[in-house]
Structure 1
Amino acid sequence: MADKRAAGGGGLRSRLTLAFLLVGLIPTAVAGLLGVRQSLQISQAARLESGERLLALSAEAVAATLKNGLDVLQAAGEDEGIGRAIQTRDRSRLTAEVRAIRQHTPDFASVLVLDTMGIVLAHSLDPGVVGLDLRERDYFQGVIRTRTPYISPVPLVGRATRVPTLAIAAPIWNPERALVGVITGTFTLERLSQLLAPARVSRSGGPGRGTEQGEVYLVSPSGVILAHTDPSKRAAQVAEADAGARAVLTGRRGSITWENEAGEAQLGIFAPLPDIGWGLVYTHSYPSWGSAVMDVLPGMLPALLVVLALAAVAGTLAARTLSRPILDLQQAAFRLREGEFATRLPEDRRDELGDLSAAFNRMAATLQDLYTNLEAKVAERTATLKATNLELARASQVKSEFLGRMSHDLRTPLNAVIGFADLLLTQQVGSLTDKQQRYLGHVANAGRHLLVLINDILDITRVEAGKLEIHPELCHVPTILEETLALFRSQALAKRITLAVEIGSPLGDLMADRIRLQQILHNLVSNAVKFTPEGGIVTVIARQIGLELELTVRDTGVGIPPEDHQRIFEVYEQVGGSEGRQKGTGLGLAITKRLVELHGGSIQLESAPGRGTTFMVRMPGATPVEAEPEAADASRPVVLVIEDDLRAAELIRAHLTSGGYRVVLVATGHAGLGAARRLQPHAITLDLGLPDMDGWEVLYRLKREPATQSIPVVVVSAQERGELGLSLGAVDWLAKPVDPQRLLAALQRCRALGAMRRPLRILAVDDEPVVLEALEALLTREGHEVLRAENGEEALRRAAAERPDIILLDLHLPGLSGFEVVNRLRHTAGMANVPVIAFSGKFISVEERNLLTQQAVQFVGKHGPVTLNRLLDDLRQVASLEN
């Protein structure tokens, strides 16, 4: 590219030549513009002069015609014979008179006589008009009111003429000078326009060219065009853009320019007719630059061509002389860019170009020195950057390893501290004094607070690293709300805070991560209680909008300034002064916002100082609210049938109805879970091949959720896996096609199930002795026998030897892992159906969780720390099924 530009040298030379051309062209163009401007001014002045002359002629013609007409009518009004004819109602005499007037005054289109009541007594053209009542006409009322001649401002279509006409009128007197009638003459608008015809002359645009026709029109005081040289515009209202007509109606005289409705420039001259209140306007298109240029161009063209030719010759010669040193500099710069740092220019000139060559040579020498040292500096800095990156990567790895250890090493002893403190507080191992109970309560609360802080730090770290997983499941929102708010009732009671809940009815289930949904609610309610002063109110509102759940937490606390609304969601941020700050890491709202966004939702904030705070969370995934089925007989026990095959469902309904049951049919797993919570049926029959979710998952969720875990489930399926269904909590297994007798017998057994429970033998497996000790103390208090194992091999041996009813299993064991223990148990005769409750202080992946579900293992602590109370709750659920 450099060689091409240098070889031609055309760029600089072309620009220099062009510059000389411009130097010659600009003065010529300026002179031409001045000539065009002068031509425009001359043309405008000529048109103004011609327009004023034409308006004067038109005004004289219109005034003379009107004066003549008024004189004729006034003379008729003074005629005593006409006055007596009106009094005697001599219509023949009156008709002869008006026809004579019409004949001697051809400007009139018609002449008519009216009495003082407005009744037509005579008409020059149409006898049929005689007898008409015209008292409403303005010319009649004008004469009667003023008793003087009157000119109508608005044209009307005459009955006799059938065209728009303008009326003038005069009073008729009797010999006693009493008003006895009105005589009226009318002018057609065409006749008035003919008076303007002399003004419709040609307007020359310049010598040797065609002419244009202007327009002259007569305007009444009401803005109606009475006469116009263009017949199509007569009797119309003047346009809003017509500045000339608007000006003349104010009584002014002069000229004006404006744009018409088509956007064309107009030159107008206007003059009023003061005696009658009308105005005349003359318009002409404004002189255009195009016509002015055509006037000036013939005289300027030869001079322009001569100037351009001289400028081209001078520019070419000067360009060759001036461009040579610059082109040499260009070539040297190209060579320097290609790495030829030894390139230099001659310094033999004593002008600015010589100074430029010397400066270039100094720059080239400096670049040559810099390039020599550049590679060494680059290598040195590259090595430093690599070392820094290695240090950063090592620090990141150390941080990750520390957080991984803290997930297990810190939370496991904290669980033991909290568990033993709770156990001692129950006084099952001995009595405590009030002071000891208070101290142990402080220990347990401090441990829980520390656990929350650790979990917040780990959660925000995982969120920022993109490693936090959510595990959606159907969540019963009212249950989660009640469980969450129960944690804050004692705290709210201590501060005399009213904790209110408003639940929109009905609410569908929400497909969300249950633990994370509880965490979102926990953080928002915790903040509300924390920042609400004594005697305040905290309100939690849940309502469903379409397929979205809206959760609102509103408090009457201190409020948040508008400038802090965005900052409040940032990590480690708390707003307000030191007196308004509360204890905490400043992570709660940051985690809440990220958890909501992980679910595809949004969170909004409304707050102002002293007016409280409202957080509103919108989350997708709400299931449609099912309509409640009508109950035929509320006294009969309800059976919920979850079956997507309509024929099979109707067959089961027929069998159960004949057996005295009331049946509710649903076709999907989600609908079945929701109906089970709402209806609390006597029993459930469950098909495994559902369209929206696996039947095993439905059974697992039914038996996991407190609201439905006690409802007996009978699995009805063509699959040959009855043992797995029983291990997951089903009370019976029926193969398709269903035997009616077996179906009714199974439901009868469901009705016979009582509340009897027996002590269980439980095998607890954990590599932490302190955890085993806490589990043993807690389960023994519940009346169960506890077997202990500290590794996988010992767990398999004790399970085979002592046949436990339930196994509590830590998944992350040294040596043989908990996953391998489960796998071997499921392949050991006599142990395949033993319920297993797995737990872990670490997080497990979605694949690992699915593997546990397939092996009929109930998992605890999948999103957070395992607590002894949570283990105990799940154990009670499984124990209720075992009994």
Structure 2
Amino acid sequence: MSDPEGLPTLEEFANWVRQALDNLYDVAILRTHPLITVFSEATEGDSLRRCQQLRRILLDIIQALRPPPGTPVQSPDWRTFRILELRYIEGLSPDEAAERLTLSRSQFFRDQAKALEIVASTLWDLWRLGEGKGTPAPLDELIAAETRRVRPQTPPDEVSVTLLLGELQDVLGRLAATQGAELEIDTAPLLPPLCIDRIILRQTILSLVSHSLSLVGSGCVAITPFATSSAVHIRLYACPAESDAPSWDQQSIEESTNLYIATQLVAQARGTLQIRVTPDGCWEAMLWWPRQEPACLLVVDDNVELAELFRLYLQGTHWYVCAAANGTEAWRLIDQLRPSAITLDVLMPYEDGWELLMRLKENDATRPIPVIVCSVLDQPDLALSLGATTYLPKPVSQSALLEALAPLG
């Protein structure tokens, strides 16, 4: 029961938090959620910005629960954080998260309930103290921050567009029904998987469909995935009802929050999005990504922050980053991962980069692996003479790293 002033009880509030987290990336559900009125300062008409603000607050609470450095990985605090991270940042199902954490199903749900109680109580305290609302950040900053939060910390997912569209069919159908529109999704072809973050692709599709429905009203939106030899495509074709003439103008076609979100997400994931109005007066969006296999970049550097920087640089590409702080760790990971490329620091304890590079090139198994020397030392000629593919001076820019990796995989 709510209190006499109409405010929710802690139990009701906790249920709100669980519902919001379960639908964190479904704008159609989140836009009418009761927590929207509690934690958002955007105007009622700007429902998508309100959703972005609520999502940001929930994800910030989860990130704030990350244990400090030095906390044993077996501690309850780490388990709490990892459950929340896997479920609501990486988007894993309960069974997938339980398997990742090697927990029984019953144990996982007990621990997840405790983790959700922590999130709910934290938000409850925040709200009751009157600190739940904050100054809205610009939309582009919100989107950039949120896509950074969901970037893969492990190899990029191999996502089946066909299966993902099947999973979204119910949500998209409900979204279309709110406007009396017809939705057609072709899930017949089983296409090659995309190397992409699943959450970003999912939200891109939701945003594009929301935008197309705002244009056609009670008309029809058709989604067709297909593949070519070099890319996987998704085509959205939106037409107004036959009795209605198209009512949109060029500004409504090109400028909307949903379309802006989709454009930014596609850019984060290194895809391509093209929009046009067809000769028959319909709206078409063509979305595609190149077909590439995941590639491992092993970063060998005693500065652990460099690996995180490179992971950020490579967000949305088919590259994923693993890190080694010294030569011993590097050899172990090379044997396990068979990386597609290695970046190598020179000034490291126990064994410097030159020694490690020479050992790599003397070994038949590791000789073919491209090595990029990254160092503050201005010795590119030495790096190349010892077998390095190229040399990058520190600090390394994103464009320099991408250019060095482009021919390698």
TM value normalised by structure 1: 0.18
Larger Cα-atom Rg: 1
